[in-house]
Amino acid sequence: MSAQILIVEDEPAIRELIAVNLRHAGHVPLQAADVASARAQIDAALPDLVLLDWMLPDMSGIDLARQLRADARTRELPIIMLTARAEETDKLQGFDAGADDYLTKPFSPRELLARVRALLRRSSPESTDDPVEIAGLRLEPDTFRVTAQGAPVDLSPTEFRLLHYLMKHPDRVLSRAKLLDSVWGDHVFIEERTVDVHIRRLRLALQRSGHDRLVDTVRGGGYRFLPA
């Protein structure tokens, strides 16, 4: 499944090369040439992952990583630091600032994609392509297909992502804010009752096979996907 990945890198050739490779892998690359632009984009909408260059014109990537970790909204944002420096102490400083992983330039596209995939898998299992199946309801992220006891279920892209997230986190109470953050990417501009609208549509789509009963309303808490 595709992830929105913000590339913060001041060298246009490297930035473009990374963007091309991410696009080929099915992701949506966003680009920033400095910290100010990166901040503005992150403030507008949370990406799924940030590739962050160390040396940037207006501020160091390390300082941006520190700022992101200090803010509740961006604390969990997955960060991979990019740097030309290979010294061990720099690496430690990067991890200290809150980077989840580290790539030393020059790196191969294959290595980049492997690290991105691994970090996405760790940070948001729903963004990976593994099919998930619960009580005869099967969702295949790579083909965007949902079936109930083998029969196809028609879902809009939003309901698909919502169902995917619910099925990846069964038996857990998920608040509307949490669902907005995880499914819509950010909840800055969207009202929480939007979640209820899409839950209603999702239940409707699952009604025929009876799987709508798996989407449980938790009074005052949000929603929970029953494990069976």
Q: Are 196 and 222 in contact (CB under 8 A)?
A: no
Does 10 participate in binding Ca ion (rule CB under 5 A)? Answer: yes
Alpha carbon distance 65, 87 (integer Å): 19
Helices and strands of the chain, counted as H and E runs = 8, 11
Does 186 participate in binding Ca ion (rule CB under 5 A)? Answer: no
Q: How far is the CB of 9 from Ca ion (least distance, A)?
A: 6
What's the chain's length in residues? 228
Q: Could you tell me which stretch among 3-11, 18-26, 60-68, 162-170 binds Ca ion (CB under 5 A)?
A: 3-11
Q: How far is the CB of 146 from Ca ion (least distance, A)?
A: 43
Q: Are 8 and 56 in contact (CB under 8 A)?
A: yes
Judged by phi (left if over 0) then psi (alpha if -120 to 50, else beta), residue 19 lies in alpha
Closest to Ca ion by CB, 81 vs 215, is: 81
DSSP 8-state code for residue 9? -
Q: Could you tell me which stretch among 5-13, 21-29, 112-120, 146-154 binds Ca ion (CB under 5 A)?
A: 5-13
- The footprint of Ca ion on residues 48-77 (CB under 5 A) is 53, 55
**Number of chain residues interacting with Ca ion (CB under 5 A):** 3
Q: How far is the CB of 53 from Ca ion (least distance, A)?
A: 4
Q: How far is the CB of 90 from Ca ion (least distance, A)?
A: 14
Quickly tell me which residue has 């699952």 as its tokens.
Answer: 206
Concatenating the DSSP letter of every residue in 168-181 gives: HSTT--B-HHHHHH
Closest to Ca ion by CB, 48 vs 53, is: 53
Q: Could you tell me which stretch among 9-17, 72-80, 114-122, 127-135 binds Ca ion (CB under 5 A)?
A: 9-17
Q: Could you tell me which stretch among 6-14, 37-45, 152-160, 186-194 binds Ca ion (CB under 5 A)?
A: 6-14
Concatenating the DSSP letter of every residue in 30-48 gives: EEESSHHHHHHHHHHS--S
Alpha carbon distance 52, 47 (integer Å): 12
Closest to Ca ion by CB, 41 vs 83, is: 83
Q: Which residue is nearest to Ca ion (CB)?
A: 55
Instruction: From residue 172, give the alpha-carbon distance in Å to each of 184, 193, 216, 217.
Output: 19, 20, 10, 11
Contact mark string toward Ca ion, 108..137, x via CB under 5 A: ------------------------------
Q: Tell me which residues touch Ca ion (CB under 5 A).
A: 10, 53, 55
